[in-house]
Amino acid sequence: MGTPHYMAPEQLEHPLKVDHRADIYSLGVVIYEMLTGELPLGRFSSPSEKVQVDVRLDEVVLRALQKEPEKRYPQANGRFCQCCRIDSG
């Protein structure tokens, strides 16, 4: 079990079907919170609507936070890791 606000939906709904994509969801929560200072609870705005950040981060963070695991990044590399390299320059 984990901290509820950081847990992927499937950890509560289907705990026996959880895979590595639950970690991608949790990382999305952490990144969202780092960017906005808030947890992505209920219906939440994209990071760029809340604070001044590069809009390219929205796609990365919102995909990591998809409710359905199959809509998230399949692995924590490639495009997902590119969010760490996005800057304002």
Which tops the pLDDT comparison, 1 or 3?
3
Segment 4-35, tens digit of pLDDT: 999 999 998 998 989 999 999 999 999 999 99
Contact present, 3 and 22 (Cβ < 8 Å): no
Three-class SS state of 31: helix
Segment 31-74, tens digit of pLDDT: 999 999 999 999 999 999 999 998 988 999 999 999 999 999 98
The predicted structure's pLDDT at residue 9: 94
Please report where in the chains the tokens 């692995």 appear, as a residue. 75
Domain boundaries, the chain: 4-84
What CATH number labels 4-84? 1.10.510.10
DSSP state of 22: H
pTM of the model: 0.87
DSSP state of 69: G
Pick from 74, 78, 88: nearest CA to 35: 88
Residue 71, token pair as written in the block: 């809509």
Q: How many helices (H) and strands (E) does the chain have?
A: 5, 0
